Structure 1
Amino acid sequence: MRAGLVQLTVGDDPIANLAVTQAHIAAAGDGGAEFVLTPECTNLLSSSRTHQRAVMRHEDQDETLAALRDQAAKAGIWLLIGSLGVLTHDADGRFANRSFLIAPTGEIVARYDKIHMFDVNVSETEVYRESAGYRPGTMAVLAETPFAKIGMTVCYDVRFPHLYRRLAQAGAQIITVPAAFNHITGAAHWHTLLRARAIETGCFVLAPAQSGFHPETDGKGRNTYGHSLAIAPWGEVLADAGTEPGVTFVDLDLDAVTKARARVPSLSHDREFTGP
């Protein structure tokens, strides 16, 4: 099957971002993609919790989600909305960073809330505390589709290989890693981490990404790394989107999953051990 990875450079206005996202999804469908994937934070990137609270919506009221579900149904495609920032009813008021898998009917087949929060000091001037605004998910998600079993992850999850191993051992053939990866850590680690996760699991890894400078209405902004990637189960980079927004196509043959796992069946070689 053909997949289309959408690379975006969103701002902090969900309505403006939606129009651009829809245009890229349409282009992916026109290019023959049956499975289209968008990045993390498809609806907005903002460092302001006040602004986020003002423009985010609960899932059942989110305009981006409703519009993209409708678009998937009209186009007859499978659509991974990499993630949306949505409001929750949590007592502490934190948001959810939620990935959605949409069927060609427009139905939401699976939801996944990002488990691992990006709480890091990248440099003296770049400090991130995702957990201050977003509450972490608690459940790994394996989605059943007619064409593959899909393990759903988001961005910073990629640094936690036990999650990927669990998904692969549960039957995942494709693992999705939509991201808004920091430009500094991306340059150092992005390709290596994604190739490692593919090699360890024998899965296709599809990672649509945000790219470039993301302006904010208060004059601030941030940079993301781009380079949406498709990785084969043997670790080859099948497609690299570079840094420009747009759609990158890749054709997937799921027989490659079976072949890679037959050559190195490490998913069945776990051993109990003690210590440290």
Structure 2
Amino acid sequence: MRIAAFQMKAAGGDQAANLARIEKAAREASADGAELLVAPELAVPGYGAGDEMRNLAEPPGGEVVARLALISLEAGVAILAGFAEAAEGSTYNSAVFADGRKEPVIYRKSHLYGDYERNLFAAERPSACIVEHGGLRIGILICYDVEFPENVRRLAQAGAELIAVPTALPASDHAELIARKMIPVRAFENQVFVAYVNHCGTDELFSYAGLSAIAAPNGNLLAEADEKSDTLLFADIRPEDFAASAAANPYLRDLQF
């Protein structure tokens, strides 16, 4: 399966503008043969929407999810994008897997990062959220979730072949370590693909590291973005190409507790 990762500069608080940009990227991704487009964490409201986030939050049956499903149907590509979810009396930092031909699947972030997120969102219990698309089993995490090896291992043990990670990694002195070293290690130690898809640029509250990447099970990067540019990355996900790596590094088979 060909996938696309959309590193974007989202407009904080402007859901209409961000949805329009995701739609444009979806059409471009589909035209290049992609069957899945991954957008960043809270790509729809913009990660830096701040206190407006709660007002922008919508239920799973709301307009945001319906719009993403329609874009998916019209563009012919499934979409995974972050949005603010209003549910059960709380607001969640969520991602929706929208395939216009199927019911949307929602994943809620389990590991909230910093006071900014903890003041805005409720944390969900860790889970193994996996969707099947185009014959590929896709696990979903959000940003800080992937920095805990237990979360990736849980998905790998549940049979995920690709782990898609919408993220909002801020610019910092350790951002490159996470994006360029930790992410390939997560892929290698679990023999899975990892699509790590970040924001770039700045908004009113944050500066973002960019550095989106798609890592292969052998730890190599199949595609990578720079720190600053809106970028649409592509990679062909073929698990059978990495059978030798899995055989040489059988971590899941040999794991003991």
TM-score by length of 2: 0.92
Query: Equivalents in 2 of 1:212, 1:175: separation in Å?
Result: 25
* Residue 245 (structure 1) aligned to one of 230, 236, 241: 230
RMSD, aligned α-carbons: 1.7
Is residue 15–residue 64 contact of structure 1 (8 Å, CA) maintained in 2?
no
User: Residue 141 of structure 1 corresponds to which residue in structure 2?
Assistant: 129
Which deviations, in whole Å up to 9, do the C-alpha atoms of 1:92-150 show, x marking residues without a partner? Answer: xx411111222351531x2211111102xxxxxxxx43122111111331222342111
User: Residue 197 of structure 1 corresponds to which residue in structure 2?
Assistant: 186
User: Residue 132 of structure 1 corresponds to which residue in structure 2?
Assistant: 119
Instruction: Give the C-alpha shift of residue 54 in structure 1.
Output: 2.4
The answer on 1:265 being equivalent to 2:250 is yes
User: Residue 98 of structure 1 corresponds to which residue in structure 2?
Assistant: 94
Query: Equivalents in 1 of 2:180, 2:92: separation in Å?
Result: 26
Query: Equivalents in 1 of 2:132, 2:177: separation in Å?
Result: 33
Instruction: Give the C-alpha shift of residue 40 in structure 1.
Output: 0.8
* Residue 154 (structure 1) aligned to one of 131, 137, 142: 142
Is residue 186–residue 225 contact of structure 1 (8 Å, CA) maintained in 2?
yes
- Give 2:192's aligned amino acid: C
Is residue 100–residue 111 contact of structure 1 (8 Å, CA) maintained in 2?
yes
User: Residue 124 of structure 1 corresponds to which residue in structure 2?
Assistant: none
Is residue 179–residue 213 contact of structure 2 (8 Å, CA) maintained in 1?
no
User: Residue 166 of structure 1 corresponds to which residue in structure 2?
Assistant: 154
User: Residue 74 of structure 1 corresponds to which residue in structure 2?
Assistant: 74
User: Residue 110 of structure 2 corresponds to which residue in structure 1?
Assistant: 115
Is residue 94–residue 107 contact of structure 2 (8 Å, CA) maintained in 1?
yes
Query: Equivalents in 2 of 1:270, 1:188: separation in Å?
Result: 26
Which deviations, in whole Å up to 9, do the C-alpha atoms of 1:177-234 show, x marking residues without a partner? Answer: 11010111423422111011101100011112111112xxxxx321111121010100
Instruction: Give the C-alpha shift of residue 156 in structure 1.
Output: 0.3
Aligned runs of 1:201-212 on 2, under 5 Å?
A: 201-212=190-201
User: Residue 30 of structure 2 corresponds to which residue in structure 1?
Assistant: 29
The answer on 1:230 being equivalent to 2:217 is no
Query: Equivalents in 1 of 2:58, 2:87: separation in Å?
Result: 9
SS state at 2:255 partner: coil
* Residue 167 (structure 2) aligned to one of 176, 179, 183: 179
* Residue 50 (structure 2) aligned to one of 44, 48, 51: 48
- Give 1:48's aligned amino acid: G
Q: Which deviates further from its counterpart, 256-265 or 237-246?
A: 256-265
- Give 1:95's aligned amino acid: T
* Residue 239 (structure 2) aligned to one of 251, 254, 273: 254
Instruction: Give the C-alpha shift of residue 41 in structure 1.
Output: 0.9
Distance change in 2, residues 1:42/1:106 (3 Å): farther
- Give 1:176's aligned amino acid: A
Query: Equivalents in 2 of 1:153, 1:254: separation in Å?
Result: 20
Unpaired stretches in structure 2, ≥5 consecutive residues: none
- Give 2:180's aligned amino acid: H
- Give 2:243's aligned amino acid: T
Structure having the higher Rg:
1
SS state at 1:72 partner: helix
- Give 2:221's aligned amino acid: V
Instruction: Give the C-alpha shift of residue 84 in structure 1.
Output: 0.7
Which deviations, in whole Å up to 9, do the C-alpha atoms of 1:34-62 show, x marking residues without a partner? Answer: 1111111111223532x12223322222x
Is residue 76–residue 105 contact of structure 1 (8 Å, CA) maintained in 2?
no
User: Residue 3 of structure 1 corresponds to which residue in structure 2?
Assistant: 3
Is residue 54–residue 84 contact of structure 2 (8 Å, CA) maintained in 1?
no
Unpaired stretches in structure 1, ≥5 consecutive residues: 120-127, 215-219
Instruction: Give the C-alpha shift of residue 258 in structure 1.
Output: 3.1
